[in-house]
Amino acid sequence: MKNTVETLMQMKARGEKISQLTCYDYSIACLLDQAGVDSVLVGDSLGMTMQGYETTLPVTMEEMILYGRSVVRGCKNAFVIMDMPFMSYQVSVEQAVSNGGRLIKETGANGVKLEGGGAVVSQIRALVDSGIPVCAHIGMTPQSVNLFGGFKVQGKGEANAERVLQDALAVQEAGAFMCVLECVPPKLAALITKKTEMITIGIGAGKGCDGQVLVWQDMLGITGFQPKFVKQFGEFGKMITEAFQAYHGEVKSGAFPEEIHTYGKSDCSDEFLKQLDEKY
Ligand code: KIV
Mean pLDDT, residues 104-123 taken together = 98
Q: Where are the domains of the chain?
A: 5-234, 239-279
Ligand 1: residue of 182, 217, 230 to mutate (most ligand atoms within 8 A of CB) is 182
Spacing, Cα 241 to ligand 1 middle (Å): 26
Residue 43 in contact with ligand 1 by CB distance below 6 A: yes
Catalytic residue among 94, 158, 182, 259: 182
Q: What is the CATH number of domain 5-234?
A: 3.20.20.60
Residue 23 in contact with ligand 1 by CB distance below 6 A: no
The answer to whether residue 24 scores a pLDDT higher than 80 is: yes
The answer to whether residue 266 scores a pLDDT higher than 90 is: no
CA angle 22-107-151, nearest 5°?
A: 35
* pLDDT, tens digit, 9 for 90 and up, residues 209-239: 999 999 999 999 998 888 899 999 999 999 9
In 108-235, which ranges are continuous DSSP H helix?
A: 121-129, 145-148, 158-174, 186-195, 216-219
> What's the one-letter identity of residue 185?
P
The answer to whether residue 102 scores a pLDDT higher than 90 is: yes
Residue 22 in contact with ligand 1 by CB distance below 6 A: yes
182 counts as catalytic: yes
Mean pLDDT, residues 23-30 taken together = 98
What's the alpha-carbon Rg for the chain, to the nearest Å? 23
| Predicted local distance difference test score (pLDDT) of residue 153 | 77
| Predicted local distance difference test score (pLDDT) of residue 40 | 98
* pTM of the predicted model as reported, rounded to 2 decimal places: 0.95
Ligand 1: residue of 21, 24, 32, 44 to mutate (most ligand atoms within 8 A of CB) is 44
